[in-house]
Amino acid sequence: MAYASSLGIAMAISIFGCLLLGAYLDRKFNTGNNIFTSLFLVVGILAGFRNFYVFIKRFFDEEAREKKRAKEAGDVSRKKRSLNKKD
Protein backbone atom coordinates (compact mmCIF):
# COMPACT_ATOMS: atom_id res chain seq x y z
CA MET A 1 0.00 0.00 0.00
CA ALA A 2 2.85 2.36 0.76
CA TYR A 3 4.33 1.71 -2.67
CA ALA A 4 1.01 2.50 -4.31
CA SER A 5 0.69 5.80 -2.48
CA SER A 6 4.25 6.76 -3.36
CA LEU A 7 3.37 6.12 -7.00
CA GLY A 8 1.22 9.25 -7.11
CA ILE A 9 3.96 11.32 -5.55
CA ALA A 10 6.54 9.98 -8.01
CA MET A 11 4.21 10.71 -10.91
CA ALA A 12 3.65 14.30 -9.77
CA ILE A 13 7.34 14.87 -9.14
CA SER A 14 8.33 13.60 -12.58
CA ILE A 15 5.75 15.77 -14.33
CA PHE A 16 6.35 18.97 -12.37
CA GLY A 17 10.10 18.44 -12.19
CA CYS A 18 10.37 18.18 -15.95
CA LEU A 19 8.03 21.14 -16.35
CA LEU A 20 10.20 23.28 -14.09
CA LEU A 21 13.37 22.13 -15.85
CA GLY A 22 11.86 23.05 -19.22
CA ALA A 23 10.81 26.48 -17.95
CA TYR A 24 14.28 27.06 -16.54
CA LEU A 25 15.92 26.13 -19.85
CA ASP A 26 13.54 28.41 -21.76
CA ARG A 27 14.47 31.32 -19.49
CA LYS A 28 18.18 30.52 -19.68
CA PHE A 29 18.29 30.29 -23.49
CA ASN A 30 15.62 32.99 -23.94
CA THR A 31 13.35 30.98 -26.24
CA GLY A 32 10.17 32.91 -26.91
CA ASN A 33 7.91 30.03 -27.80
CA ASN A 34 8.51 27.71 -24.79
CA ILE A 35 10.05 24.83 -26.73
CA PHE A 36 11.81 23.30 -23.74
CA THR A 37 8.79 23.66 -21.45
CA SER A 38 6.56 21.80 -23.90
CA LEU A 39 9.16 19.16 -24.63
CA PHE A 40 10.00 18.46 -21.00
CA LEU A 41 6.33 18.47 -20.00
CA VAL A 42 5.69 15.67 -22.49
CA VAL A 43 8.79 13.81 -21.25
CA GLY A 44 7.58 14.18 -17.65
CA ILE A 45 4.11 12.87 -18.49
CA LEU A 46 5.60 9.90 -20.33
CA ALA A 47 7.92 9.17 -17.41
CA GLY A 48 5.04 9.36 -14.94
CA PHE A 49 2.90 6.94 -16.92
CA ARG A 50 5.87 4.64 -17.43
CA ASN A 51 6.25 4.45 -13.64
CA PHE A 52 2.55 3.65 -13.39
CA TYR A 53 2.88 0.90 -16.02
CA VAL A 54 5.87 -0.65 -14.24
CA PHE A 55 3.96 -0.61 -10.94
CA ILE A 56 0.90 -2.32 -12.43
CA LYS A 57 3.03 -4.91 -14.21
CA ARG A 58 5.00 -5.68 -11.04
CA PHE A 59 1.77 -5.92 -9.01
CA PHE A 60 0.18 -8.43 -11.38
CA ASP A 61 3.40 -10.45 -11.67
CA GLU A 62 3.59 -10.74 -7.87
CA GLU A 63 -0.07 -11.72 -7.71
CA ALA A 64 0.44 -14.43 -10.34
CA ARG A 65 3.48 -15.77 -8.46
CA GLU A 66 1.49 -15.93 -5.21
CA LYS A 67 -1.33 -17.83 -6.92
CA LYS A 68 1.18 -20.24 -8.44
CA ARG A 69 2.82 -20.84 -5.03
CA ALA A 70 -0.58 -21.40 -3.42
CA LYS A 71 -1.52 -23.87 -6.12
CA GLU A 72 1.79 -25.73 -5.76
CA ALA A 73 1.39 -25.83 -1.98
CA GLY A 74 -2.11 -27.23 -2.43
CA ASP A 75 -0.84 -29.87 -4.86
CA VAL A 76 1.89 -30.94 -2.44
CA SER A 77 -0.53 -31.24 0.48
CA ARG A 78 -2.95 -33.29 -1.66
CA LYS A 79 -0.13 -35.64 -2.67
CA LYS A 80 0.86 -36.08 0.98
CA ARG A 81 -2.74 -36.88 1.95
CA SER A 82 -3.08 -39.39 -0.85
CA LEU A 83 0.18 -41.07 0.18
CA ASN A 84 -1.00 -41.24 3.81
CA LYS A 85 -4.29 -42.84 2.73
CA LYS A 86 -2.43 -45.57 0.84
CA ASP A 87 -0.44 -46.52 3.95
* pLDDT tens per residue across span 5-46: 888 899 999 999 999 999 999 999 999 899 999 999 999 999
Range of the domain at 41: 2-86
Give pTM, 2 decimals: 0.74
Confidence of residue 87 (pLDDT cuts 50, 70, 90): low
Alpha helices in 1-87 (DSSP H): 2-29, 35-86
Query: What is the DSSP secondary structure assignment for residue 18, as one 8-state letter?
Result: H
Looking at the structure of the chain, the number of domains it has is 1
Query: What is the DSSP secondary structure assignment for residue 33, as one 8-state letter?
Result: T
Q: What pLDDT score does 39 carry?
A: 97
Percent of the chain residues past pLDDT 70, beyond the cut: 85
29 within 8 A of 47, measured Cβ to Cβ: no
Rounded to an integer, the average pLDDT of 58-68 is: 88
